[in-house]
Structure 1
Amino acid sequence: MPIRCEIVSQDRVVFSGDADIVVLPGVEGEMGILPNHAPLLTALRYGIIVVRKQGEEQYFTVAGGVAEVQPDQVTVLADAAENVMEINVQRAEAAKRRAEERLKAGVPQDSDEYFELQAALRRSNLRLEAVQRYRQRMQRERRE
């Protein structure tokens, strides 16, 4: 019996489907959610969500948010989320460069702009690392 998984960002549904297991990057560490899991609510850190069904895995970046787990469903409400296969590498690299340049320009460290730039840099780095780590693996597995 699978568990239903919904990953929702602020502007769209990123994933909706059944899974055998969902691995979440909780603030206390990674957690694997199987069908009939005990109910829980957890904050999410920047990281990768893995959705596995019948031996195939899909990977999603998540930049914070919360996850609600019920015995038959996992609902992720993400600050930002994206399927690794949909990441635009050029856009992520450009966002990283912009954030780094603005930080080098001397933004005060106690300002809102500084924290926004730090978050943008973390998101860009997460996206680029996810592409490097997971996209190549997924493409290789599909060829086999």
Structure 2
Amino acid sequence: MENKSQLTVNVVTPDGLIYDHHATIVVANTISGELGILPNHAPIIAPLAIDEVRVRRTDSDTHVDWIAVNGGIMEVRDNVVTIIADTAERERDIDVSRAERAKQRAEQRIEEAKASHDTDQLRRSEVALHRAINRINVSKHR
């Protein structure tokens, strides 16, 4: 029998399923703003921003899992929240030193792109910087 007072949350990347738990609430940032999903939410599909996703697990009223998501989409249907993203990492899996190095590389590339007036490189570098900062911020929730 399906439990109508909880959600099933799945986060999938090209590398496979990286998260699969039950939850009482999921909060994600879409490109239109923050969206909170509770059990029995109406069906929805929303494009996600590069940001953190918060999942309050049902096995603990105080436990929240944090997931760094680099865009993607979220689908909600029949108390199942499915997030499909190019990359996503749980806070405990983030290599902070690698994220710091990625941040430094992106900052350097931004300066180079500004100096050469390369708008495409500037946009790509700004996205890389945003992703690195997101990973660093999510890692701080450990």
Q: TM-score, normalised by structure 1?
A: 0.84
Q: Which residue of 2 aligns with 1:27?
A: 31
Percent of aligned pairs with the same amino acid: 35
The 3-state SS of whatever aligns with 1:42 is strand
Q: CA separation in 2, counterparts of 1:96 and 1:117?
A: 10
1:97-108 superposed matches below 5 A: 97-105=104-112, 106-108=115-117
The 3-state SS of whatever aligns with 2:134 is helix
- Ranges in structure 2 where 5+ consecutive residues have no aligned partner: none
Q: CA separation in 2, counterparts of 1:114 and 1:11?
A: 28
Q: Which residue of 1 aligns with 2:135?
A: 127
CA contact (8 A) 1:48 1:130 kept: yes
- Ranges in structure 1 where 5+ consecutive residues have no aligned partner: 136-144
CA contact (8 A) 1:107 1:114 kept: no
* Residue identity in the other structure for 2:100: E
Q: Which residue of 2 aligns with 1:60?
A: 67
Q: Which residue of 1 aligns with 2:19?
A: 15
Q: TM-score, normalised by structure 2?
A: 0.85
Q: Which residue of 2 aligns with 1:85?
A: 92
- Deviation digits for residues 61-116 of structure 1 (CA, Å, limit 9, x no counterpart): 111111010022011011321101111111001111111112222353322x3322
Q: CA separation in 2, counterparts of 1:38 and 1:61?
A: 25
Aligned with residue 118 of structure 2, among 80, 101, 109: 109
Q: Which residue of 1 aligns with 2:44?
A: 40
* Residue identity in the other structure for 2:110: L
Q: CA separation in 2, counterparts of 1:101 and 1:84?
A: 26
Q: CA separation in 1, counterparts of 2:86 and 2:117?
A: 25
